Structure 1
Amino acid sequence: MSEDQKRAVITGAGAGLGRELAMGFAARGVAVALVDRDAAGIEATRLGLPASARSLSIAQDLTADGAAEAVIGRIEAEWGGLDVLVNNAGFGAIEPFFEMSAALWQKTLAINVTALAMMTKVAALVLKRQGGGRIVNITSPGSRMALPNYAAYAASKAGVDSITRSSAIALAPFGITVNSVAPGMMDTEMQRSTERDLARAEGREDFDAFIAERTRRAPLGRRARIDEVAATVLWLALDAPDYITAERLNASGGMDRD
């Protein structure tokens, strides 16, 4: 690896936005560490990278004890450090408000909040020693919405917003920026699965009409393309001025207006 080649860690790299991010970073000449509990998904992502891309595949459940230390330790051992962390791994499931379960809350918070916080802390220790770096978290417009059938997910993303602000202030003295991106409705596998469950929870039988109605909520009148959201993340990770930190960048077609 050349001394000036950047190294990016992408969690949730086995599908969806994570896969698109891996391809985007690799196209920019960045070495990519692909982290996901789905080993087959990681392999599919790796096979889609340019032949010249430098990559590292790490199959890991980030909710396991010591997972962050294991992942970052492996990357340090292989590459000598890292430059960018993208906390993209996430989970969400629909439960009607009066049917909420502790099990779903625990799973959602473990993946979306605790694992993200631990990855941020452990990666930041490496970035601090190196004199700087960038962290980008994936949040959601849902963090600011009242979503009674999606309460655990919405609360978890509010937690991501809080962690982004707190870690940005904690890490600013060390040249580490922390920002977040709030995507709009992307046609990923997770999004469509969630919307089908949401339609059922709301008693909506015409799924196509339900999707059209939700899409009209975006002022731009369409759903987000995955490559548009990936480009936003790449800008924050590679191109944004060093003075930008503790910010939330909305890529939601105007749904999130603040």
Structure 2
Amino acid sequence: MTVDQGTGQRLRGRVAIVTGAGNGIGAAFAGALAAEGAAVAVADIDGDAAQGVASTIQERGGRSLAVQVDVTDRGSVRAMVSTVLAGFGDVDVLFNNAGVLLKEPYLSTTEQQWHKVMEVNGLGVLLCTQEVARHFITKGRGKVVNTCSTSSRSPSAHFAAYAASKASVLSLTHSSARALAPYGITVNGIGPGIIQTNLWSEMHRDESGSVVGDDPTVALDDYTSSILLRRVGTPGDVAPTAVFLASDDSDYITGQLIMVDGGIVLQ
């Protein structure tokens, strides 16, 4: 995990929950938020990974706690919110970042694969937003940020289930922005492009860890032709936008999707 050196002021006094923060983009979000002064709940289904990120933040002088959560289970989500409120006394920002990535030819996508991707990527956003919004409503403010992906706008034939799930996240971003605006809650999305993370590498490996199909490094390189800036992104490229959406600077922005993709999708 890379924690950018921030001013330590932009998010001082804020409390953020980041789901799927045990590695990749989520870990970068958590580190960047902490570097700007936020207390960060590192939430992940992998409790050990969450603890590792939280410990790194603490070693660097930040405030953090680890929470194991299954975002597809309402009881688990409620327990996460209770743990954060008990540990930090408040929640100001929710990052719905937990997700699974599936690459499968369109005609080979199975019902089991479809349900898994849709439950984690879609249902997880709904449940987390609902449960955290109940707290936001009591105080009349709050921010929700959803990881949408360029696939929500420009789907690929080999990522049909994933693209459909991210389109549902974008739709939830719009509907929840409308539903929650009367309570002073903003809801926005970040659309990362092709980002080099463990999630991408794991997608190309079987249970033994052996590479199957395309080599992940080669596969990443193949996508650069579609990127105007001609390079694959890193989690650090996305994290500054997360800080912006968590800060007061974004108070008059809601229902929007901000692409951080090097120029894949032009809006």
Normalised TM-score (structure 2): 0.88
Contact conserved, 1:185 with 1:191, CA < 8 A, in 2? no
Residue 177 of structure 2 is aligned with which of 160, 168, 171?
168
Distance, in Å, in 1 between the alignment partners of 2:150 and 2:250 is 24
Tell me what 1:36 maps to.
44
Distance, in Å, in 2 between the alignment partners of 1:147 and 1:228 is 23
2:29 is the counterpart of 1:21: yes
Tell me what 2:192 maps to.
183
Contact conserved, 2:220 with 2:232, CA < 8 A, in 1? no
Write out aligned runs for 1:229-248 (5 A).
Answer: 229-248=238-257
**CA deviation after TM superposition for structure 1 residue 210, in Å:** 4.2
Moved more, 91-100 or 114-123: 91-100
Distance, in Å, in 2 between the alignment partners of 1:224 and 1:87 is 20
2:46 partner letter: D
Distance, in Å, in 2 between the alignment partners of 1:235 and 1:34 is 19
**CA deviation after TM superposition for structure 1 residue 126, in Å:** 0.5
Distance, in Å, in 2 between the alignment partners of 1:230 and 1:93 is 23
Write out aligned runs for 1:82-231 (5 A).
Answer: 82-194=91-203, 210-231=219-240
2:24 partner letter: G
**CA deviation after TM superposition for structure 1 residue 55, in Å:** 1.4
| 1:223-246 deviation per Cα after TM superposition (whole angstroms, max 9, x unaligned) | 112112011111111143311000
2:85 is the counterpart of 1:81: no
Contact conserved, 2:244 with 2:250, CA < 8 A, in 1? no
1:85 partner letter: L
| 1:121-160 deviation per Cα after TM superposition (whole angstroms, max 9, x unaligned) | 1111101111101110001111222422211100000000
Moved more, 58-67 or 103-112: 58-67
Distance, in Å, in 2 between the alignment partners of 1:217 and 1:200 is 24
Distance, in Å, in 1 between the alignment partners of 2:28 and 2:52 is 12
Contact conserved, 1:7 with 1:83, CA < 8 A, in 2? yes
Tell me what 1:6 maps to.
14
Q: Note the residue ranges of structure 2 that are not aligned, 5 or more in a row.
A: 1-11
RMSD between superposed Cα atoms in Å: 2.0
Identity of matched residues, %: 36
Distance, in Å, in 2 between the alignment partners of 1:188 and 1:207 is 10
1:32 partner letter: V
1:219 partner letter: L
Distance, in Å, in 2 between the alignment partners of 1:195 and 1:255 is 22
The DSSP-based 3-state class of the residue aligned with 2:247 is: helix
Contact conserved, 2:69 with 2:77, CA < 8 A, in 1? no
1:169 partner letter: R
Q: Note the residue ranges of structure 1 that are not aligned, 5 or more in a row.
A: none
Distance, in Å, in 2 between the alignment partners of 1:186 and 1:207 is 12
Tell me: CA distance 1:209–1:10, structure 2 relative to 1, closer, same or farther (3 Å).
closer
Normalised TM-score (structure 1): 0.91
| 1:25-53 deviation per Cα after TM superposition (whole angstroms, max 9, x unaligned) | 11111101111011111121022214332
Distance, in Å, in 2 between the alignment partners of 1:13 and 1:187 is 15
Distance, in Å, in 2 between the alignment partners of 1:11 and 1:37 is 9
